[in-house]
Homo-oligomer: A and B are copies of this chain.
Amino acid sequence: MKRNVIVGQSGGPTSAINASLAGVYRTAKDRGAQNVYGMLHGVQGLLTESYIDLSDHIKTKLDAELLKRTPAAFLGSCRFKLPEIHEDMEVYKKIFGILDKLDIEAFIYIGGNDSMDTIKKLSDYAIITGHPCKFVGCPKTIDNDLAMTDHTPGFGSAAKYIGTSMKEIIRDGFCLDYEHGLVTIVEVMGRDAGWLTGSSALSVGEDCAGPDMIYLPEVPFDLDKFKKKVGRLLKEKTSIVVAVSEGIKAKDGTYICEFGNSIDFVDAFGHKQLSGTASYLASFIAGEFGCKTRSIELSTLQRSASHLASRVDILEATQVGGAAVMAADEGDSGKMVVLERISDDPYQCGTSVKDVHKIANNEKLVPRDWVNKEGDYVTQEFIDYVTPLIQGDVSPIMVDGIPRHLLTPKELSHR
């Protein structure tokens, strides 16, 4: 590389997204790039020429290590969909004008489905106009729903957090003693894909039986079967823990979380209160059996708990960042870096690049045969697939008892 590189982050944050950024920066510098710029808030920020020079932020190897341990998009994220090229050429002209001004030879975008759509459109525009800039995508999403790649960076750390938290929740429930039993419903992210919810099965081990049921959005949820199973289990044990995806739906396509809001309940300020899937199911079960129930949402913590990141995940995230730069340097454009699993045991995984046209706007769901017949648990195949991705730890750098992060450009500007 002889000129400059620009990198952006987009979509929902993860624990590993900044490891990819660190990988992009290091490889670009190693390969001779002059400046490595970071768009603030992705393409949206680029359009207002909001960017930084990453050298001002990653000054030492310690900075790079802190960056890898910092959750959520360091550069800031956005959810910005580029118009179709034929609909609005002006946006593209503006972006390419800025890229020319900054003398950019490679544009790397770290993100999920929507971000790959951005790479697709920009690389298409470059082809149409004969522009030499290369556009390469770097996969990122806790949801693990990107096509063509074995898995996505960010997923492994989220899965490790979910497996660990699930185990801690199961133990908490198990030590309590309620007269009519305790049913805990744990709600996990993933509206359409059940990779994260299924990862609650990682809590299964010699010292833990795991959750009692696991419901993924890929399989229709049968409230009556669920009720019967809970009733049966309540006769056998004092504490039942159920993992549900936020996106489980009844056979007719209604989200279970909508059930709780069938009555027009508006708060004092005129707003409809939407209760979650877990809280609906918890109150449903309490009503049916008179037992104690709890609902727990793992919420934003599952995507930002970098203190429990998976080492495999962080290393792979760094690796795909570097591979994206390398691909662009070698002339690839309109591509996304993918992870290709070479073997399960010992786990080995390499990178390759795939045409982003085949990836953007596609969704990879959990195969039906990785869920049991009853539709209430994942199979051993699922567990074998995820287990290698949560191995190893990235020890947080602790200061005053709390993990240290790298100060972001946005925070710096507030000081």
User: A residues touching B (Cβ–Cβ < 8 Å)?
Assistant: 9, 13, 41, 44, 70-78, 160, 163-165, 167-169, 171-177, 184, 202-203, 205-209, 237, 259-260, 262-263, 265-271, 273, 275, 279-280, 283-284, 286-288, 294, 296-297, 299-301, 303-308, 310, 387, 390-393, 398-408, 410-411, 414
**How many copies of this chain sit in the oligomeric assembly?**
2
In Å, the complex CA distance between A301 and B280 comes to 20
- Residue among A206, A263, A305 having the largest count of chain B Cβ atoms under 10 Å: A305
Contact of A296 (CB < 8 Å), options: B78, B160, B169, B300: B300
Instruction: Decide if A175 touches B273 in the complex (CB within 8 Å).
Output: no
Instruction: Decide if A287 touches B275 in the complex (CB within 8 Å).
Output: no
| Chain B residues near A160 (CB-CB < 8 A) | 401-402
Instruction: Decide if B176 touches A404 in the complex (CB within 8 Å).
Output: no
Beyond the given A169-B300, A262-B268, A391-B400, please list 15 additional residue pairs across the A-B interface where CB-CB is below 8 A.
Answer: A13-B172, A41-B177, A72-B168, A75-B175, A165-B301, A167-B402, A168-B304, A172-B304, A173-B300, A174-B411, A271-B283, A271-B287, A273-B275, A296-B299, A387-B400
Instruction: Decide if A269 touches B294 in the complex (CB within 8 Å).
Output: no
Instruction: Decide if B72 touches A172 in the complex (CB within 8 Å).
Output: yes
Instruction: Decide if B296 touches A269 in the complex (CB within 8 Å).
Output: no
Contact of A273 (CB < 8 Å), options: B75, B260, B402: B260
Instruction: Decide if B304 touches A404 in the complex (CB within 8 Å).
Output: no
In Å, the complex CA distance between A185 and B411 comes to 20
In Å, the complex CA distance between A309 and B288 comes to 37
